Structure 1
Amino acid sequence: MSEVLVIGATGTTGSRLTSFLRERGVPVRPAARKADRPGFVRFDWTEPETHAPALSGARAVYILPPPAVPEPAPLVEPFLHEAVRQGVRRAVLLGTSARPERTPGAAALYELVRTMLPEWAVLRPSWFMQNFAGRAIALRRRDGELISATGAGRAAFVDAGDIAAVAGHALTDPEPHNTEHVITGPEALSYDDVAALLTELGAGPLRHRPVGQDELAAHFAAAGMPRAYAELLAALDTDISTGSEDRVTDTVERVTGRPPRSFRDFAAAELR
């Protein structure tokens, strides 16, 4: 079986994908900016000299785009040209379920993958359940409250392990998927629902406080997030308030053969 290059292999989805592939005996080449773990190769989007060595011998690649870069295509396109030159046939790109016009550069990346590779998939997951665990939840906690600009809007939060499983199949299934996969959890929840569940399971008391988009962006920026990225995330919250993420898909079960993890099961495991 051909080797799979996993970009961002220490990240939320990349680490889980690396484990998924290894457990199934798939030769995997994990890549990260710091190749300080056994078997890892060095890869940095801003250092093109790291791209060709990382790709050497790979026939499929998982692409985690450059983080918090407004227009990532100028970094990704030369990498894809090098991948094609070296014989890579299949690429799986991590995107987002948010509307491409609301996420700068997303549409261009999707088009690059679709047109440059003969075998491809674009993953468009809803918001990660992992945003409510560990240090990540601190970004939305303030004075014992969970803040958002989502109002009563709902999102079908999805577990990163389910995203990784879909990615693993898209990278290794005999037939290429050649499609965009909108990936969700099994139910759409509001932030009120999430706060209530976390409280019930021992992470509280915690309640949801709706705030305005500008206030949320300022909160994110005060936490150290680049201002432009803070404003983008706050705007995506507002999109949720209008119903943009209020949907449930069958992608996880259809691709992997098992149902997606519920938020209750995720939170119960995280809070053990």
Structure 2
Amino acid sequence: MQTILVTGSTGNLGRAVVAALATGGFQVRAAARDPGKLGSHPGVEPVRFVYEQPDTHAPALSGVDGLFLIAPPLDPEAAAKLNPVIDLARRSGVRRVVLTSALGVDAVEEAPLRRVERHLMASGLPFTILRPNFFMENFSTGFLAPMVRQGGIWLAAGDGKTSFISVEDIAAVAVAVFRKDSPPRECNLTGPEALDHAEVAAILSRVTGRSITYHALTEEQMLENFRRAGLPEGAVQYAANLYRAVRAGHAARITPDVEQVSGRKPMTFREFAQRKAAAWR
């Protein structure tokens, strides 16, 4: 039985990957800053892991077969944090690294996650890079959830469309990658449709029976909201770049990679909203 270390295990994606691997027959080492938040689950061993504390890295990596690597969200210093972990994984005998990056970063060589991708590619380790689009779960348990509960979505996304993807579909791809002898090296992961935020708000309104409205902000209005919410300036500027890409249409791409790798069709946003309706009531 393979043992897989999953970083960021208390986040939306990390929790989904831990659950999918554990139910899929893997032994999972769930890494988190505060492993006490993970609870107790069959086949899952919580371990302490903090990117800024290198002394926590070697114990977490010891004896694992695979590494599922998630960067801290909106982190302009991702390369400085993840690249040493990749190097240690190689020295520790890890047999495969699966890196979660982001859709489109391979077109921007100076992007923080692209620098991590390049480092992994040059490491000599067997690897797969997953580049998912924006998570649907941002609306249910992520940073957009409080807005939706207040009846709105306030963003500088313009009328740009996004092929939102559920973390459950990303997790299914992760399981398939660790099972395959020769998995793909790069996967661009999207949902089956591209929606603008007005369309998202309309779906949420129908599912919840409440009026939820998209409010198109200017970029500066959105960034000021993020600053008032306490985001560090580096994360604020990172978010600015993401939503510039949305407004420019770069997030509308739809790919077949989820189904090709996992064997299942990715869920639609309506299916996601129906499953998660209780989050907004």
TM norm. shorter chain > 0.5:
yes
Q: Can you give the 5+ residue segments of structure 2 that lack an aligned partner in the other structure? A: none
Q: 2:3 is matched by which residue type in structure 1?
A: E
What residue in structure 2 maps to residue 8 of structure 1?
A: 8
Post-superposition shift, 1:74? 2.3
Task: State the distance in 1 between where 2:180 and 2:112 align.
Answer: 28
Partner-residue secondary structure (3-state), 1:25: coil
CA offset digits 1:107-130 (Å, max 9, x no partner): 110011112143111111111101
What residue in structure 1 maps to residue 172 of structure 2?
A: 165
Task: State the distance in 1 between where 2:147 and 2:186 align.
Answer: 30
Equivalent residue runs for 1:137-148 within 5 Å: 137-138=144-145, 140=147, 144-148=151-155
Post-superposition shift, 1:66? 3.4
Partner-residue secondary structure (3-state), 1:228: helix
What residue in structure 1 maps to residue 35 of structure 2?
A: 35
What residue in structure 2 maps to residue 76 of structure 1?
A: 82
Alignment of 1:118 with 2:125, yes or no, is yes
What residue in structure 1 maps to residue 102 of structure 2?
A: 96
Task: State the distance in 1 between where 2:110 and 2:276 align.
Answer: 29
CA offset digits 1:27-70 (Å, max 9, x no partner): 21111111224421111101111111101111110001234432
Contact 2:177 2:183 (8 Å CA) reproduced: yes
Task: State the distance in 2 between where 1:143 and 1:130 align.
Answer: 17
What residue in structure 2 maps to residue 132 of structure 1?
A: 139
Task: State the distance in 2 between where 1:143 and 1:88 align.
Answer: 45
Partner-residue secondary structure (3-state), 2:122: helix
CA offset digits 1:216-250 (Å, max 9, x no partner): 11111111211231232133212211111111111
Task: State the distance in 2 between where 1:68 and 1:128 align.
Answer: 13
Partner-residue secondary structure (3-state), 2:208: coil
Q: Can you give the 5+ residue segments of structure 1 that lack an aligned partner in the other structure? A: none
What residue in structure 2 maps to residue 249 of structure 1?
A: 255
Post-superposition shift, 1:105? 1.3
Post-superposition shift, 1:135? 5.6
Post-superposition shift, 1:143? 6.6
Post-superposition shift, 1:151? 1.3
Task: State the distance in 1 between where 2:87 and 2:35 align.
Answer: 23
Alignment of 1:108 with 2:95, yes or no, is no
Q: 1:244 is matched by which residue type in structure 2?
A: H
Task: State the distance in 1 between where 2:221 and 2:66 align.
Answer: 42
Contact 1:217 1:227 (8 Å CA) reproduced: no
Task: State the distance in 1 between where 2:149 and 2:204 align.
Answer: 15
CA offset digits 1:189-230 (Å, max 9, x no partner): 000100111111116301111111111111111112112312
Query: Structure 1 residues 167, 103: CA separation in 2 closer, same or farther (over 3 Å shift)?
Result: farther
Contact 1:203 1:271 (8 Å CA) reproduced: no
Partner-residue secondary structure (3-state), 2:164: coil
Q: 2:155 is matched by which residue type in structure 1?
A: S
Post-superposition shift, 1:14? 1.3
Q: 1:174 is matched by which residue type in structure 2?
A: D
Partner-residue secondary structure (3-state), 1:154: coil
Post-superposition shift, 1:99? 3.4
What residue in structure 1 maps to residue 160 of structure 2?
A: 153
Contact 1:59 1:90 (8 Å CA) reproduced: yes
For these two proteins, the number of residue pairs brought into alignment is 271
Post-superposition shift, 1:84? 1.0
- Answer with 238-247 or 88-97: which moved more: 238-247
What residue in structure 2 maps to residue 196 of structure 1?
A: 202
Task: State the distance in 1 between where 2:54 and 2:136 align.
Answer: 33
Task: State the distance in 2 between where 1:35 and 1:143 align.
Answer: 31
Equivalent residue runs for 1:24-63 within 5 Å: 24-36=24-36, 37-38=39-40, 39-63=45-69
Normalising by structure 2, we get a TM-score of: 0.90
Task: State the distance in 2 between where 1:103 and 1:198 align.
Answer: 36
What residue in structure 2 maps to residue 175 of structure 1?
A: 182
Q: 2:18 is matched by which residue type in structure 1?
A: T
Normalising by structure 1, we get a TM-score of: 0.93
Identity %: 34
Contact 1:62 1:92 (8 Å CA) reproduced: yes
